[in-house]
Structure 1
C-alpha cells in the first residue's frame, strides 16, 4: 500500500514536470541528449546524458541529472513512454550532474544501484555539491544534503539486473574518470551506457586517475558494442569510433605534460600550456583543461 501511494505521488510530480525530450536509440532504449553547459537556471540541471530501458515487466533508469527538477523531468519522460514500474535507478558515478536527480525517484519503489565506492565518494562531497548548486541556481535551488540518495545495491565487480525478459549487465571499473565508474549494457540491443568514461564534444574531466583512464580506454576499445551512450555528447554513437577524439585529447595532454616535466617546468606552466592545441575541438575546454593538466602532471612526476 505504501509503495503504491509513493508511486502515485511521484507520478503526480512527473505529470507536473515537462518531460525531458528523449530519443529511442534502440528498441526500448531511450536517451536524453544534454547540452554542453554548466549548471544554470536555464537548464534545470539536465546537463548530462540520461536515459532509461524498458523491459516486459519494469524499467531501469540510468543517471538522473543534477537536481530534483531534472530528475522529475526524466521521471515524466519515463511515464510518457510506459506505465511499467521503475525497478532500478542506476548511477554510472557520483558526480552531481549524474546523481543528484535521484531524489525525484525515491518514492517510485525503485532500487538504487551504484559502484561499491559510490556512497563513500558521494558522502565525502555531498555538502560541496549542494553548496555549488546553490551558488549556480540561487533561490531556485531548494536541495539539501538530506536529499542525497545512497545505493540499495552496490556492485564491486559485475552484476545483472532483470527487467522481465531483458537483462542488463553492470560492470564496476577501476579508477579512471572517478574511482566509482559503472557501465550498463543492455544485452538485448547491445547498447552500452559508458557514463563519463566517454565524453564527446564536451571536454573530459579527470577526477580519478589520468593514467588509470588511459589504461582503461585501451581495454574498452578492444570490446564490441552495437552502440554506446556517452555521458556527454550525442544520444548514441558507433563504437569504437566514438572513442577516437577522447583518445586524441589524452595523447596530446600526455605528450605536452611529459615534455614539460622533462624540462623541469613547474606545475603552473603545465596548467597553462598543456593540451592547448585541442581547445577548438571541445566545448567547455577552459573550464576543465587546466585541472586535467594538473592531474596529468602530478601523475607524470611519479611514472
Structure 2
C-alpha cells in the first residue's frame, strides 16, 4: 500500500488552558483522526492517550471513540463543529476501555446514537465504578463530568451505518483484545479503523484472550483494505507489516508462558523471569509486559 504521510493534511487548534493544540489529520477525504499520546492517563494529558476521530457524510457525522475524559471529548466535539455543521448521528465505541469511552458525555443528548458491540453494555456495567474511581485518582477535579455512557445501538455481528452517501460497516469480533472489540470500515475510502485490535508503537495489552487475539490477527490480515487506523500509534502505518509486529509479540508471550507452565513454574515465577528483550521497542513495555504474561498464564494454565 502506498500512502505518503506527507500527503496527509493537518488541522490544529488550542483546546483550552496550557495544553498543546488538539490536532487532526485527514487520513482520507472526510475521515479525520486525532492521535493520542503514548502515556498513561494523567492530569497533564487529561486522558488524551488513544486515537479518536470522526467520519463526515453528506447527512451526518459518525464519531469513532471519544477519548479518556470529558475534556478530550469536548475537544473532539469542537473539532467536529469546526469542520462541519452536520449533526453527529453516531458515536461508535470500539471497545470498553476508559481511554476510548470517557469522552462520550460530550456527545450525549440531541439524538445521537451510541453504538457498540452487543457485549459492551455488560462489560461497561461491570467496570464503570472502577474506571470512574481510577480516573478521579489520575485527574482529580479534572475528571468531573467524565462518565460511562451505555450504547443503545448494539452490533451482534455486522451493522451498516448510512451517513448519507457514505456507509460505515461495523464488525464485531470474537474475544481478542477484549470481549467487545469492534472495527469500523469506511467503504468510501477503504479505511479500516481497528481500535485496539491493532497497537502500533505502544505495547499491546491483553484484557480478553491472547489466543483469540492471535486468531483475529490472522483474519484481519486477509481483509482487502487501503489503509488502517490503529487504536494507538501512527495513522496509516504499513499494512500488514505493523500487524506482523503485534502478532510476533503476542506469539512470543504465548511461547514463553507455555514453556514456563511445562517447566512447572508458578505464575509469580513466570512473571519474575520476564525477559525484557521480548518487549523491546514497545512504548510502555515496563507497565504492560508483565501484565500480559499474567493474563496469558491465567488463560493457558489449563489448556
Q: TM over 0.5: same fold?
A: yes
Distance in 2 between residues matched to 1:204 and 1:16, nearest whole Å: 30
Identify the residue that residue 158 of structure 2 maps to in structure 1: 158
For 1:1-303, list aligned pairs within 5 A.
Answer: 17-18=15-16, 20-143=22-145, 147-274=147-274, 276-303=276-303
| TM-score normalised by length of structure 1 | 0.91
In 2: Cα distance, 1:276 partner to 1:254 partner:
15
Counterparts of 2:220 and 2:276, CA distance in 1? 26
Deviations 1:143-183 (Å, cap 9, x if unpaired)? 46xx4211120001000000100000000111011100010
Instruction: Output the CA distance in 1 between the equivalents of 2:148 and 2:122.
Output: 12
**Cα contact 1:130–1:143 (8 A) shared by 2:** no
| TM-score computed with the length of structure 2 as normaliser | 0.91
| Contact 2:46 2:142 (C-alpha < 8 Å) held by counterparts | no
Structure 1 residues 205 and 242, CA, compared in 2 at 3 Å: closer, same or farther?
same
Check whether the contact 1:249–1:275 (CA below 8 A) recurs between aligned residues.
no
For the 8 Å contact 1:253–1:275, the answer to whether it is kept is no
Does the 8 A contact of 2:204 with 2:246 survive in 1? yes
Asked if 1 retains the 8 angstrom alpha-carbon contact of 2:105 and 2:145, the reply is: no
| Structure with the higher helix share, 1 or 2 | 1
The secondary structure found in structure 2 opposite 1:242 is helix
Contact (CA 8 Å) 2:35, 2:235: kept in 1 or not? yes
Checking the alignment, whether the CA contact within 8 Å between 1:275 and 1:293 is kept in structure 2 is no
Shift of 1:275: 5.2
Are 2:50 and 2:232, in contact at CA under 8 Å, matched by a contact in 1? Answer: yes
Find the aligned partners of 2:158 and 2:275 in 1 and give their Cα distance. 35
* Structure 1 residues not aligned, in runs of 5+: 1-14
Q: C-alpha separation between the residues in 2 aligned to 1:37 and 1:278?
A: 20
Equivalent in the alignment of 2:7: none
Corresponding residue for 2:4?
A: none
Greater CA deviation, 283-292 or 270-279? 270-279
Once the two structures are superposed, what CA deviation does each residue of 1:30-50 show, in whole Å capped at 9, x if it has no partner?
000111011111112111000
**Runs of 5+ unmatched residues, structure 2:** 1-12
Q: Deviations over 1:92-140 (max 9, x none)?
A: 0011000111000003431110000101100111010110011111222
C-alpha displacement at 1:16, in angstroms?
9.7
- Tell which deviates more after alignment, 226-235 or 254-263: 254-263
1:5 corresponds to: none
Aligned residues: 287
Contact preservation (8 Å) 1:44, 1:67: yes
Tell which deviates more after alignment, 106-115 or 126-135: 106-115
**1:68-103, Cα deviation, whole Å (9 max, x unpaired):** 000000111111111111110000001100011100
Give, in angstroms, the shift of residue 259 of structure 1: 1.3
Residue 256 of structure 1: CA displacement? 1.2
C-alpha separation in 2, matches of 1:129 and 1:175: 20
